[in-house]
């Protein structure tokens, strides 16, 4: 906008290829082609600033934005809000998830497992952990603001994970999960 950037020599205005925009800067475009200039200025660009020192997060976001990779279920679920989403974010930072579990943290795999553990505790035992059920579980606790019930689930799951910390070693191969290789449980 300050005239330091000009349009490329290879630019072609698709609506009318006879219009030559090559080499024009913002002010020139305004003077010579006000209707095209208005199309530029009439657009609202959404800009989101993310500040982090996490190189993996930066690289992952860059790749996903450039490759148009959609969010997976756990990533979407994280945005639902409510007490279960908050508890999941706390659980994934416990020693069990950060030290014992040998599962990639990419694409929120830890979050998915934490959600499943909370869900299974809420169900009182084995149950189907399909996306639709997990989503409904997180949404229900958010909609009904079941904070105390979610905290009780967190206490139970945290207690179990604390006991598991004493049983399994760091990055324990028995806790490898994914792609049908889960030896203790499948996520």
3-state secondary structure the chain: CCCCCECCCCCCCCCCCCCCCCCCEHHHHHHHCHHHHHHHHCCCCCCCCCCCCCHHHHHHHHHHHHHCCCCCHHHHHHCCCHHHHHHHHHHCCCHHHHHHCCCCCHHHHHHHHHHHHHHHHHHCCCCCCCHHHHHHHHHHHHHCCCHHHHHHHHHHHHHHHHHHHHHCCCCCHHHCCCCCCCCCCCC
What is the pLDDT at residue 67? 80
What is the pLDDT at residue 13? 87
Higher local confidence (pLDDT), 5 or 159: 159
Q: How crowded is residue 106: how many other Cβ atoms within 10 Å of its Cβ?
A: 10
Main-chain dihedrals φ then ψ at residue 25, nearest 5 degrees: -100, -175
Q: Examine the pLDDT at 181 and tell me if it is beyond 60.
A: no
pTM attached to this predicted model: 0.64
Mean pLDDT of 23-44: 87
How sure is the predictor about 107, in pLDDT bands with cuts at 50, 70 and 90? Answer: confident
How far CA 42 is from CA of 36, 37, 39, 45, in Å, comes to: 10, 8, 5, 10
Q: What is the pLDDT of residues 36-68, one digit of tens each?
A: 888 878 888 788 788 888 777 777 777 777 787
The ranges assigned to domains in the chain are 70-175
Mean pLDDT over each residue of the chain, to the nearest integer: 86
Work out the percent of the chain whose per-residue pLDDT is above 70.
91
Mean pLDDT of 129-158: 96
Q: Examine the pLDDT at 182 and tell me if it is beyond 60.
A: no
Q: Examine the pLDDT at 177 and tell me if it is beyond 60.
A: no
């Amino acid at each position: 906008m300050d005239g330091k950037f000009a349009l490329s020599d290879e630019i072609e205005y698709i609506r009318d290829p006879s219009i030559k925009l090559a080499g024009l800067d913002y002010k020139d475009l305004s003077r010579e082609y006000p209707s095209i200039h208005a199309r530029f200025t009439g657009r609202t660009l959404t800009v989101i600033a993310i500040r982090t020192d996490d190189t993996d997060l930066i690289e992952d976001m860059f790749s996903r934005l450039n490759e148009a990779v959609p969010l997976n279920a756990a990533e979407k679920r994280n945005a639902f809000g409510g007490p279960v989403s908050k508890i999941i974010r706390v659980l994934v930072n416990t020693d069990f998830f950060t030290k014992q579990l040998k599962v990639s943290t990419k694409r929120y795999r830890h979050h998915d497992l934490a959600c499943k553990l909370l869900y299974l505790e809420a169900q009182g035992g084995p149950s189907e952990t399909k996306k639709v059920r997990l989503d409904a579980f997180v949404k229900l606790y958010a909609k009904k603001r079941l904070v105390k019930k979610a905290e009780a689930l967190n206490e139970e799951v945290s207690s179990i994970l604390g006991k598991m910390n004493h049983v399994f070693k760091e990055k324990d191969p028995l806790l490898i999960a994914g792609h049908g290789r889960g030896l203790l449980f499948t996520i």
